[in-house]
Amino acid sequence: MTEPTVPPSRRMRRNLQRVTMTDVAAAADVSPSTVSLFLRRPGAVSDRIGARVSAAIEELGYVPNAMAGGLAAAGSRVVSVIVPSLRNAFFSETLSALEGLLAHAGLQVLVGHTEYSLAQEEALVRAALSWAPAAVVLTGQRHTDTTRALLRKAATPVVEMWELGGVPIDQAVGFSHAAVGHRIAQRFVERGYASAAFLGARLADDSRAGQRAAGFLAGMEAAARPARLLEDPDPASTGVGARLLARMLDAPVRAVACSNDTLALGVLFEAQRRGLAVPGDLAVAGFGDLDFAAQTVPPLTTIRPSADRIAAQVAACILARNTDPEASTSHDTGFTFMARESA
């Protein structure tokens, strides 16, 4: 019978290991359970013991191991947020607001960006689910079947944001982009612009921009003022806006609706360069009400979608999940038409 020798390597690795809850318990002269309880529900522990435990935590510089905790509790305090692009101000603002709100509730955010690819979204969802997240936040309602299946099977709260109209996987928060397009068309019709065009970037991938375009074109059509559609395959940028306007000027129109404010900014600059008066020669409308929209010359007529409101509602959906067991719903956060001078 051989002596069961303990392999030293593991123990050696452990030496670099952080202070554990057991160490804290020993230092505070209580059981590990009590430390755990104190950490999760400080009120459930007497003040005397609580003080001793927190002193021990402080003294030892204890940092809980979230993986051990999550494994034991069969769920983590992370929320996975998946957006098409982090460079796009809409999504970075939403992420910012959401992260702030969730951090407040003790939830951490795992981000991923898909570059508008559903396949990449699927990969990110798969990776996200491996953390048994408290919730998964997706952008839009278009996903692969596998994505849907993964999410459904995981029984994790799912919030789809920035788009409405389809059947939510679980919860959806956003507004109708077609309605946004319609609203712009309505303005153009009211103003009596004789001809118009929609300027878009990457319409094939960005289904929300596509819906705005479709809504706009339908709105113009309905008023018997059919409009053109011009698009660029590159992601929206000021440069693309300028380029699109330049492309359009071989058959000029009286007004342009841009798929977002960044594009509109480019249009404004290009118009200025070409000596076109806005809105005298050319009316310009955007989408997003980004930071600069109220400052342009002339101020930009646009639509404010309110990323903050979306983020707040998404956070509410996630946090309410604790109480509400099952309720597939859509939350319309609406949008505001910002009537300014450019159109």
Partner DNA sequence: GGTGAGCCTAATAGCGCTACGATTTGCCTG
Partner DNA sequence: CAGGCAAATCGTAGCGCTATTAGGCTCACC
The residue within the footprint of a second copy, chosen from 46, 96, 117, 336 (CB under 8 A), is 96
Scanning 68-76, 192-200, 283-291, 295-303 for contacts with DNA by CB under 7 A, the matching segment is 68-76
Binding to DNA, residues 28-47 (CB under 7 A) = 30-34, 36-37, 39-40, 44-46
- What DSSP string describes 276-319? --TTTT-EEE-SS--TTTTTSSSPPBEEE--HHHHHHHHHHHHH
Under rule CB under 8 A, how many of the chain's residues touch a second copy? 66
Q: Which is nearer to a second copy, 93 or 231 (CB)?
A: 93
- For the four alpha carbons of 139, 145, 149 and 152, in that order, the dihedral sign comes to positive
Can you tell me which of 1, 3, 4, 326 binds DNA, judged by CB under 7 A? Answer: 4
**324 exposed, middle or buried (CB, 10 Å; 0-12, 13-18, 19+)?**
exposed
What's CA 44's distance to the chain center, in Å? Answer: 36
Alpha helices in the chain (DSSP H): 8-16, 21-28, 32-40, 47-60, 66-73, 89-104, 118-129, 145-154, 177-191, 207-222, 238-248, 261-273, 307-320
Angle at 239 between CA 234 and CA 244, to 5 degrees: 70
Which range, of 10-18, 199-207, 212-220, 312-320, touches a second copy by CB under 8 A?
10-18
> Which listed option, a second copy, DNA, none, makes contact with residue 96 (CB within 5 to 8 Å by class)?
a second copy
The DSSP result for 311-343, as a single string, is HHHHHHHHHHTTT-----EEEE---EEE--S--
Report the residue number, 63 or 224, with the smaller CB distance to a second copy.
63
Residues 6+ apart with CB under 8 A from 206: 84, 116, 259
Residue from 44, 51, 55, 66 that binds a second copy (CB under 8 A)? 66
**Which tokens hold the place of 188?**
């153009």
Rounded Cα distance between 260 and 242, Å, is 13
Stretch that binds a second copy, among 30-38, 160-168, 191-199, 233-241 (CB under 8 A): 233-241
- In the region spanning residues 278 to 307, those forming contacts with a second copy, defined by CB under 8 A, are 291-292, 294-297
32 binds a second copy, rule: CB under 8 A? no
| Residues at the interface with a second copy (CB under 8 A) | 13-14, 16-18, 61, 63-68, 70-71, 74, 76, 78, 85-87, 89, 92-93, 95-96, 99-100, 103, 108-113, 115, 124, 126-132, 149-150, 153-155, 237-239, 241-242, 262, 265-266, 269-270, 272-273, 291-292, 294-297
Q: Which residues bind DNA (CB under 7 A)?
A: 4, 6-7, 9-10, 13-14, 17-18, 20-22, 30-34, 36-37, 39-40, 44-46, 48-50, 62, 64-65, 68-69, 71-74
